[in-house]
Amino acid sequence: MTTATAETNKQRYDKVFMEALNVPAEELGENLIYNSVAAWDSVGHMSLMAALETEFDIMMETDDIIDFSSYAKGMEILSKYEVQF
Amino acid sequence: MNFYDEMERYGSAVAFVEEDGAVHSYAQAVEAADAFGSTVADRGLVFLLADNSLAAATGYIGCLRARVPAALLAGGIPSDQLASLLAAYRPNYLWLPRARAAEVPGAVEVYAQGGYVLLSTGAEPLRAHSDLALLMTTSGSTGSAKFVRLSYGNVAANAASIAAYLKIASEDRAITTLPMHYVFGLSVINSHLHAGARIALTDASLMEKRFWEQVKAQQSTSLSGVPYTYELLKRLRWERMELPDLRVMTQAGGKLSAALVSEFAGHCRQKGMRFYVMYGAAEATARMAYLPSQLALEKPGSIGVPIPGGELWIEDESGIAITRSGVAGELFYRGPNVSLGYARRREDLALGDERGGVLATGDLAQRDADGAYSIVGRKSRFVKLFGNRVNLEEVEHFLRGAGIDCACAGDDALLRIYITNPALGNDAVAAAQRLTQLHPSAFRACVIDSIPRNEAGKIIYAELP
């Protein structure tokens, strides 16, 4: 039996969310939207965007940063930067 | 003139635009405000839970016009904080979103408008000083029962002065970028109402598409922000956004780094816009100084000159005025916008003017040869996190109350909580966050062997790593 060492993009995406917004794994999903948890305010949003850009080594466009309104929408946006889920 | 008493003169000009595009003229705003005012006209205290909505603005203007004192609180104030303020001040009325009406046991609904309800608590009649107009939280007093007491004259004078130096005209169109219960946010509303200008009301943040859609749809001509707002704007690379109507940007609420001032001043100059660095405090209604926009590139670390009608000077430790340039001392301000004083409980609302128009700012400043002032430090132990003034003493006290031995230090970017027990790091950050209601990234727990203290047991902050 081999152990998977490479994290999937989904795992990396989840980890960034949990760290930047201070949310447990069970809150990740369709219901996690901007302002739905205390830490996802404008301050949290900036930390989240910075952390995602670092994690995936991308530079997001202004329109994508302000359009990044939910956990689900974020995956759609990241796919534009060739981050596939 | 008192802008709030004379709004009628702008008649059919638009005062407020809501997010759905609904417009409200000055005449309509006055009518709604007076309908509200007539229901609270016995000069009882009103708690106004203000989000950036038409209903909140109506209640605010209604209180000013009817000479009813109002405490402006965040629309989303945590229930426990609201409960402790209710206990300390026993307001006669609350004007709040209907969804929160159930949080005030025993209160009776007496009026409703635009999603807000007016509750009457049945508290005893208020004995308030006739000058008392508003109770505003200082950003440092979040979570405590301390308010700044503002007079009718304070509010009117500061609005007029700001409108004058920013050259706000009736064709200008502001948009709310800051909450109304925050003195800077309120000053944007007041100064535009003074000038007969238009204000777009939104609770959306700069990080939301909805906000920028409003800016474009409403053809906003100015944006106002705290240092953190400018970091967000930089992050968004706002200079690449198509905002052809934008003409003015203003900054206050803490020191913006000289590098960011230069960057924004440079972009603004290229775009033919004016960029203003400003300085103030809740204790001075909002504004005390501003840097004329043409000087922003030349003096990026400066707060500029006193606002029209105000006076600044510097004193040394013995209270002697420092007249030489380049020598630091405590910054003092005199002007008609200096607040009456503080309130900590209902009984304090009967107090009159305790400051005599003079404010010791607690900031250390120096003046350059041209007469422009710069802040070089703070006399008291405060940091400004995301534009919120946080008293380090208060955080320490709160944490100790929660059983966490600590010393707090830091700067405007990060508040460091020094602890000796490594197991308490997360608790310390969580408690600091609970007290201040700020994002956890503003705090960091640092574990040290022991907290340095002198023989009297006082913490020696200079010895913290």
The answer to whether the CB atoms of A47 and B238 lie below 8 A apart is no
pLDDT score of B153? 98
Q: Is the pLDDT of residue B309 over 60?
A: yes
Q: Nearest CB to B236: which of A22, A41, A62?
A: A62
* Helix residue spans in B196-312 (DSSP H): 209-217, 227-235, 258-270
User: Do B423 and B353 share a structural domain?
Assistant: no
pTM: 0.83
Residue A2 lies in a domain: no
User: Do B323 and B454 share a structural domain?
Assistant: no
Task: Return left, alpha or beta for B325; rule: phi > 0 is left, psi -120 to 50 is alpha, else beta.
Answer: beta
Domain boundary among B336, B367, B398: B367
Give the tens place of pLDDT for each residue, B406-428.
999 988 889 999 999 999 999 99
Give the tens place of pLDDT for each residue, B368-412.
999 999 998 777 678 888 888 888 888 888 898 888 989 999 888
Q: Is the pLDDT of residue B457 over 70?
A: no
Q: Is the pLDDT of residue B349 over 60?
A: yes
Residue of B439, B441, B443, B444 to mutate, testing the A interface (most A Cβ within 10 Å of its Cβ): B439
pLDDT score of A3? 47
| Chain A positions in Cβ-Cβ contact with residue B206 (cut-off 8 Å) | 42, 66
User: Do B330 and B397 share a structural domain?
Assistant: no
Residue A84 lies in a domain: no
Nearest CA in chain A to B206: A42
Instruction: State the helix-helix crossing angle for A9-21 and A71-79, rounded to 10 degrees.
Output: 130
Asked if B458 is an interface residue toward chain A (Cβ–Cβ < 8 A), one would say no
Long-range contacts of B455-463 (CB under 8 A, 24+ apart): B459/B407, B461/B381, B461/B407, B461/B409
* Helix residue spans in B208-316 (DSSP H): 209-217, 227-235, 258-270
Q: How many A-B residue pairs are in contact by the CB < 8 A criterion? A: 49
pLDDT score of B143? 60
Nearest CA in chain A to B205: A42
State residue A74 phi and psi, 5-degree precision: -60, -40
A54: domain CATH number is: 1.10.1200.10
The answer to whether the CB atoms of B211 and A66 lie below 8 A apart is yes
Nearest CA in chain A to B386: A43
- Mean of all residue pLDDT scores within chain B: 93
Query: Does residue B362 contact residue B58 with C-beta atoms inside 8 Å?
Result: no
Distance from CA of A64 to the nearest CA of B (A): 9
User: Do B321 and B438 share a structural domain?
Assistant: no
**Opening angle at CA B59, ends B58 and B64, nearest 5:** 100
pLDDT score of B463? 80
Gap between the Cα atoms of A38 and B434, Å rounded: 11
Residue B424 in 3-state DSSP?
helix
Taking a contact as any Cβ pair under 8 Å apart, which residues of chain B between 61 and 80 contact chain A?
A: none
User: Count of residues for chain A?
Assistant: 85
Domain boundary among B309, B336, B367: B367
Total of domains in chain A: 1
pLDDT score of B210? 93
Asked if B242 is an interface residue toward chain A (Cβ–Cβ < 8 A), one would say no
pLDDT above 90 coverage of chain B, percent: 78
pLDDT score of B453? 79
Q: Return the half-sphere exposure (C-beta side, CA atoms, 13 A cut-off) of residue B70.
A: 31
Give the tens place of pLDDT for each residue, B175-192.
999 999 999 999 999 999
B452: domain CATH number is: 3.30.300.30
Domain residue limits at B258: 7-367
User: Do B116 and B48 share a structural domain?
Assistant: yes
Give the tens place of pLDDT for each residue, B197-250.
999 999 999 989 999 999 999 999 999 999 989 988 998 889 989 899 999 999
Taking a contact as any Cβ pair under 8 Å apart, which residues of chain B between 188 and 207 contact chain A?
A: 205-207
Query: Does residue B28 contact residue B2 with C-beta atoms inside 8 Å?
Result: no
User: Do B421 and B354 share a structural domain?
Assistant: no
User: Do B252 and B201 share a structural domain?
Assistant: yes
Residue A25 lies in a domain: yes
Residue A1 lies in a domain: no
User: Do B317 and B406 share a structural domain?
Assistant: no
Q: Is the pLDDT of residue B459 over 90?
A: no
Distance from CA of A55 to the nearest CA of B (A): 17
Nearest CA in chain B to A19: B441
| Chain A positions in Cβ-Cβ contact with residue B442 (cut-off 8 Å) | 43
Name which residue leads in pLDDT, B236 or B279: B279
Give the tens place of pLDDT for each residue, B16-53.
999 999 999 999 999 999 999 999 978 899 999 999 99
pLDDT score of B397? 82
Q: Is the pLDDT of residue B142 over 70?
A: no
User: Do B258 and B198 share a structural domain?
Assistant: yes
Domain residue limits at A48: 9-79
When pLDDT is averaged across residues A8-13 and rounded to a whole number, the result is 95
The answer to whether the CB atoms of A39 and B439 lie below 8 A apart is yes
Residue A44 lies in a domain: yes
Total of domains in chain B: 2
User: Do B76 and B110 share a structural domain?
Assistant: yes
- H or E stretch at B371: none
Give the tens place of pLDDT for each residue, A57-79.
999 999 999 999 999 999 999 99
pLDDT score of B437? 87
pLDDT score of B2? 95
pLDDT score of B179? 94
Sheet containing B358-367, strands listed edge to edge, beginning at the edge strand earlier in sequence: B311-315, B329-334, B358-367, B373-378
pLDDT above 70 coverage of chain A, percent: 94
> Where residue A2 falls among pLDDT bands split at 50, 70, 90?
very low
pLDDT above 70 coverage of chain B, percent: 98
User: Do B436 and B292 share a structural domain?
Assistant: no
Query: Does residue B62 contact residue B72 with C-beta atoms inside 8 Å?
Result: no
Q: DSSP state, B462?
A: G
Q: Return the half-sphere exposure (C-beta side, CA atoms, 13 A cut-off) of residue B409.
A: 13
pLDDT score of B139? 62
In 3D, which of B76, B94, B79, B2 has the Cα closest to residue B39?
A: B94
In 3D, which of B57, B65, B357, B304 has the Cα closest to residue B188?
A: B57
| Chain B positions in Cβ-Cβ contact with residue A69 (cut-off 8 Å) | 208-209
Asked if A50 is an interface residue toward chain B (Cβ–Cβ < 8 A), one would say yes
pLDDT score of B458? 67
Q: What is the dihedral of CA B97, B102, B104, B110, to 10 degrees?
A: 60
pLDDT score of B71? 98
pLDDT score of B412? 83
User: Do B442 and B328 share a structural domain?
Assistant: no
B282: domain CATH number is: 3.40.50.12780
Domain boundary among B367, B391, B409: B367
